[in-house]
């Protein structure tokens, strides 16, 4: 975790440090406030949250007698935390019933890191003592099932797969059936994310969801978003949210961007919390999203 935090800090500190430096200027004139606004927009915080934050900062700085670095840091930290939201339930739910495993569906556009995230999540769960079955329902991308199976072998989870181009819903169904037969704790289902037709996506994900729910409740539908894609990612999020009820967001590739503001923008957009963040390609590079640690990494 320490290593992950360090990595996050390296990628994100231009935003928070930039803000802190600007707020510390001797004269907080209009140009400076504009620069603060720009810094937030460049980091993908989004227009409305940026305006809100700048307004709050202006008000609070006004009533602040002195502007010591410690004062400013505390103030900025508090306001960024308010913006990110500290009262979301960010735990990934895996509530297995007596005879049924907890089921998590992982959705998102291809290339965002869906399969990798599914593998990393399996690893976290297995390390936590849970038995996991993987469902390779991304039958659209040829290598996805192999990739998932490799992850499964690495972490000690069985992978249920079907023929290439097979029916995702029937694979999802089989995976949950296998989970029940094995008495597994959690079934993770990787899905395909082609976006060229919304109806196609809707039909497919809707069907996967329905067959899974035949066995019992679905615990989570996690949407994987690539943090480096900015506004595009938000557009994708909107489409998926229309298709299925997203319960949590996984923001991947935060190691490769300084645009951590997307956390704020996407939560606003969907009204669901960022629960996990991807900070690299390796097996240990998935971390729970902790607002406080994130803001600390931002401010440096
Ligand atoms: P999928 O098509 O959505 O299933 O995407 P993949 O899981 O195959 O991932 C696409 C690429 O992104 C792969 O090269 C992954 O190693 C890489 N990737 C996934 N998550 C992360 C992350 O958090 N950080 C970085 N730097 N790369 C990632």
User: Could you give the CA distance from residue 118 to residue 150 in angstroms, rounded to a whole number?
Assistant: 12
Prediction pTM value: 0.93
Q: For residue 259, what are the contacts with CB-CB under 8 A and spacing of at least 6?
A: 15, 42, 43, 44, 227, 228, 230
Q: Would you say the CB of residue 280 lies under 6 angstroms from ligand 1?
A: yes
Residue identifier of the C-alpha nearest atom 26 of ligand 1 = 280
pLDDT tens for 38-52 read 999 988 999 999 999
Asked whether residue 75 is marked as a ligand-binding residue, the answer is no
List the chain residues with pLDDT less than 70: 1-4, 9-14, 195-196
Q: Would you say the CB of residue 229 lies under 6 angstroms from ligand 1?
A: no
pLDDT at 176: 96
Tokens matching residue 95: 């509530």
C-alpha distance from residue 216 to each of 7, 104, 194, 209, 211 (Å) = 39, 12, 27, 11, 9
Interface predicted TM-score (ipTM): 0.99
How many CB atoms neighbour CB 272 within 10 A?
19
């Amino acid at each position: 975790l320490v290593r992950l935090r360090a990595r996050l800090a390296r990628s994100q500190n231009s935003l928070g440090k930039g803000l802190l430096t600007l707020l510390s200027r001797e004269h907080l004139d209009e140009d400076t406030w504009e620069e603060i606004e720009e810094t937030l927009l460049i980091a993908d915080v989004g227009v409305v949250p940026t305006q809100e934050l700048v307004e709050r900062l202006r008000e609070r700085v006004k009533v602040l007698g002195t502007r010591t670095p410690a004062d400013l840091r505390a103030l900025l930290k508090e306001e960024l935390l308010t913006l990110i939201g500290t009262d979301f339930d960010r735990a990934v739910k895996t509530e297995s019933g007596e005879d049924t495993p907890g089921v998590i569906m992982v959705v998102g556009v291809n290339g965002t890191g869906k399969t990798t995230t599914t593998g990393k999540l399996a690893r976290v769960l297995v390390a936590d003592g849970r038995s996991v079955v993987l469902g390779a329902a991304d039958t659209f991308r040829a290598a996805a099932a192999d990739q998932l199976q490799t992850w499964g072998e690495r972490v000690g989870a069985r992978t249920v797969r079907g023929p290439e181009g097979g029916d995702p819903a029937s694979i999802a169904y089989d995976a949950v059936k296998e989970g029940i037969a094995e008495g597994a704790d959690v079934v993770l289902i990787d899905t395909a994310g082609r976006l060229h037709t919304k109806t196609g996506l809707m039909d497919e994900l809707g069907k996967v969801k329905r067959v899974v729910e035949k066995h019992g409740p679905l615990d989570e539908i996690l949407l994987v978003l690539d943090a480096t894609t900015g506004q595009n990612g938000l557009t994708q999020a909107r489409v998926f949210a229309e298709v299925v009820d997203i319960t949590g967001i996984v923001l991947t590739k935060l190691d490769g961007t300084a645009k951590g503001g997307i956390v704020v923008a996407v939560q606003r957009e969907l009204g669901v919390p960022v629960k996990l963040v991807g900070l690299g390609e390796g097996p240990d590079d998935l971390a729970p999203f902790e607002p406080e640690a994130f803001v600390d990494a931002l401010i440096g």
